[in-house]
Amino acid sequence: MKGTIVTIGDEILIGQITDTNSAWLGNEMTQLGVEVVEILTIADKVTAIHAALDTALAKSDLVVMTGGLGPTKDDITKKAIAEYVGSELYLDEALVTRIKTYFDARGIPFTEAHKAQCYMPKDAKSLTNEMGTAPGMLFEHQGKHILSMPGVPYEMKNIFSNSFLSSFAPMQDSALKIYHKTIKTVGMGESRIEEKISDIVAELPADISMSYLPSLGTVKLRLTARSQDDKSDLVENFAARIVERIPELVFGYGKTSLAESLQETMISQGLTVTTAESCTGGYLAHQLTVVPGSSRYYLGSIVAYDYEPKKSLLKVSPATLEKYGAVSEETVKEMLVGLIASMGSDLGIAISGIAGPGGGMPDKPVGTIWMAWGSKSDVRTRKLNLSKNRVKNIEYTAVAAMNALRKFVKKYE
């Protein structure tokens, strides 16, 4: 079964917002065995919607559209699809009642714009939206399927995961079996990894492919089997051989994040962690705490952005700051020791650097970042020489810091 994702919105074409819906849908559809052949982003225009439906239906069995369903007047998707499939609109009284009840409970007045949302195409199956007012719609058209959902991510996800999935099972055929295995690595670039495992990759049969997906500091290695037969055992076997070759780089599989992997390690070993951040400004703490359950090992962070909290809360001596500066090995060491003493954790990470774009000095250019990590009795340090890009420096440093603590606990270094 093949699928196309169509995202509707001028705001995406002009780059005002990033389309995150397609990645989420691409992953969900792949898990369901739908091969996503194309993602298309188009303008809020009836002609563009009709042209996209022509293109997408020619290539695929399921077209998933997001965007252009909502209470404001610039939304024309519903009418465009209804016209395309030849379906009239009628006022869905049950929907009016549902939305009125929803709004009454929140003290929001029910407006004409809200009522306009309650006109539904006669031939669409209405899919409940538990997170908002605009329902999803599922159409059958010439033996194929069109799913239309609002563009607000949590509404779209709610409709897809709940209402749509229960309608989906009957439309599936499963001629081609797809099996993915993703190995997640950190600390080495894609071409050096490729060299290390090239002999294993060379043995892959034609129906198993290998991709390298780099992001800041990490590389995903993805094995994909597309075959009539079940190739999962063979894929797992190749994956195991690759991991055996580069064990210290591998932190997890599938969608596991570095923070999730670190959390699992810390909880299983009964260790607590704290952080002291200067230039990363809370980003490391956020990466750790965005993972559910992080309170089981993570106690907190002192974001000492200014000089004062470095002295008052982390007990860095004024003499050290004076002599070596805030961005120095000596300062991050004292930050780490002060952090662990103050918060009483087993382990910690301390970071101080110049994220940029301003603040560089001749001997410490923008991108100079010092980090310390370890325990009260075993403090390690490292200097990073990064770029002039503030966001990249902050994000890369968080990855490097998490990896340093991971390797410390796993005793890789």
**Length of the chain in residues, anyone?**
413
Is residue 266 within 8 Å of residue 409, measured between CB atoms? yes
The dihedral of CA 69, 71, 76, 80: what is its sign? positive
Q: How far is CA 182 from CA 165, 211, 240, 256, 398, in A?
A: 25, 9, 11, 10, 22
Q: From the list 199, 293, 341, 412, which residue makes contact with its own copies (rule: CB under 8 A)?
A: 293
Q: From the list 160, 164, 298, 373, which residue makes contact with its own copies (rule: CB under 8 A)?
A: 298
Q: Which is nearer to its own copies, 103 or 324 (CB)?
A: 103
Shortest reach from residue 6's CB to its own copies, in Å: 10
Shortest reach from residue 328's CB to its own copies, in Å: 17
Judged by CB under 8 A, the chain residues 115 through 134 that form the site for its own copies are: 131
Q: Which is nearer to its own copies, 36 or 159 (CB)?
A: 36
The rounded Cα 142 to chain-centroid distance in angstroms is 35
Judged by CB under 8 A, the chain residues 24 through 53 that form the site for its own copies are: 24-30, 36-44, 48
Per-position x/- string for 255-284, each x denoting binding to its own copies as judged by CB under 8 A, each - no binding: --------------------x-x--xxxxx
**Two structure tokens written together for 16:** 């005002």
Q: Which is nearer to its own copies, 125 or 382 (CB)?
A: 382
Q: Angle at CA 161, nearest 5°, toward 55 and 85?
A: 35
Q: Which is nearer to its own copies, 12 or 249 (CB)?
A: 12
Shortest reach from residue 81's CB to its own copies, in Å: 18
Whose CA is closest to 373, among 321, 323, 409? Answer: 409
**Two structure tokens written together for 285:** 């703490």
Going by their DSSP bridges, the two strands 144-149 and 136-141 should be labelled as: antiparallel
373 φ, ψ to 5°? -150, 165
How far is 81 from 125, CA to CA, in rounded Å? 13
Q: Which is nearer to its own copies, 88 or 111 (CB)?
A: 111
Judged by CB under 8 A, the chain residues 62 through 101 that form the site for its own copies are: 70-74
Q: From the list 14, 58, 105, 319, which residue makes contact with its own copies (rule: CB under 8 A)?
A: 14
Whose CA is closest to 118, among 137, 138, 139, 144? Answer: 137
Q: Which is nearer to its own copies, 101 or 111 (CB)?
A: 111
Q: From the list 143, 170, 270, 358, which residue makes contact with its own copies (rule: CB under 8 A)?
A: 358
Q: How far is CA 264 from CA 248, 338, 407, in A?
A: 16, 26, 14
Dmax (CA) for the chain in angstroms is: 78
Q: From the list 20, 97, 161, 268, which residue makes contact with its own copies (rule: CB under 8 A)?
A: 20
How far is 107 from 411, CA to CA, in rounded Å? 57
Shortest reach from residue 356's CB to its own copies, in Å: 7
Judged by CB under 8 A, the chain residues 165 through 184 that form the site for its own copies are: 180, 182
Q: Which is nearer to its own copies, 125 or 157 (CB)?
A: 157
Judged by CB under 8 A, the chain residues 191 through 230 that form the site for its own copies are: 191-192, 194-195, 209-215, 220, 222, 224
How far is 176 from 168, CA to CA, in rounded Å? 17
Shortest reach from residue 88's CB to its own copies, in Å: 25
351 in helix, strand or coil?
strand
The rounded Cα 95 to chain-centroid distance in angstroms is 33
Q: Which residue in the block uniquely carries the two structure tokens 């004024």?
A: 318
Q: From the list 49, 234, 343, 351, which residue makes contact with its own copies (rule: CB under 8 A)?
A: 343
Q: Which is nearer to its own copies, 41 or 128 (CB)?
A: 41
User: According to the binding rule CB under 8 A, does residue 155 interact with its own copies?
Assistant: no
Shortest reach from residue 123's CB to its own copies, in Å: 27
How far is 155 from 130, CA to CA, in rounded Å? 7
Interface segment toward its own copies; rule CB under 8 A; list 93-101, 169-177, 227-235, 388-396: 388-396
Q: From the list 22, 218, 320, 368, which residue makes contact with its own copies (rule: CB under 8 A)?
A: 22
Q: From the list 199, 244, 306, 318, which residue makes contact with its own copies (rule: CB under 8 A)?
A: 306
How far is 287 from 303, CA to CA, in rounded Å? 14
User: According to the binding rule CB under 8 A, does residue 311 interact with its own copies?
Assistant: no
